[in-house]
Amino acid sequence: MKLQLIAAATLLLLTACSGQSNQQTAASVNLTSLAGNVAITETAPAPEMASYPKRGDSIARTFAEQPPLIPHKADYAINLKTNRCLTCHAPTKAKRMKATSIPTSHLGDLKGDINGKYYSCTQCHTPQASNTQAHVGNLTDKE
């Protein structure tokens, strides 16, 4: 009896599994572009890569208390788990990384921990690249 039950259960399990392997093929969808059936004839060149000042060059500040501009790319992760800016600019690491240490105004305590208000660096500091790309004109340009 017990053996029969086990056999029945196994059979049930096998049929249940085989149902999953039954793959359904998606029906093809006809999509039309909003522009209609138009061939693409114009291709735009890729935008110019941003070029930053030479390593070690800082950009002159233009007003008192200005958060200095970032002379390098700034797509480093700043999130709950990590702040990549601090891997170079933390007071304990700056000298070795040849970067300027964050000023004492940014610190929360004497141990060198950052003040939470200053955690989100790119809220105040913004990268400055010399981009040779032409600016988009405005209405007065067209007059």
Provide the minimum distance between the beta carbon of 121 and ligand HEC in the complex, in angstroms, as a whole number: 3
Nearer to ligand HEC, 10 or 73 (CB): 73
- Encode burial over 68-85: b for 16+ CB neighbours within 10 A, e otherwise: ebbbbebebebeeeebeb
Tell me the residue type at 79: N
Closest approach of ligand HEC to the CB of residue 137, in Å: 31
Restricted to residues 36-95, the positions that interact with ligand HEC (CB under 6 A) are: 55-56, 58, 65, 67-68, 70-72, 74, 76, 83-89
Give the residue, chosen from 81, 96, 98, 142, that forms a contact with ligand HEC under the rule CB under 6 A: 98
Spatial contact of 52 and 127, defined as CB atoms under 8 Å apart: yes
Neighbours of 36 (CB within 10 A): 6
112 is an interface residue for ligand HEC by CB under 6 A: no
Of the two residues 106 and 129, which places its CB atom closer to ligand HEC in the complex?
A: 106
Q: Is 106 in the site for ligand HEC (CB under 6 A)?
A: yes
- Angstrom distance (rounded) from CA 104 to CA 101: 9
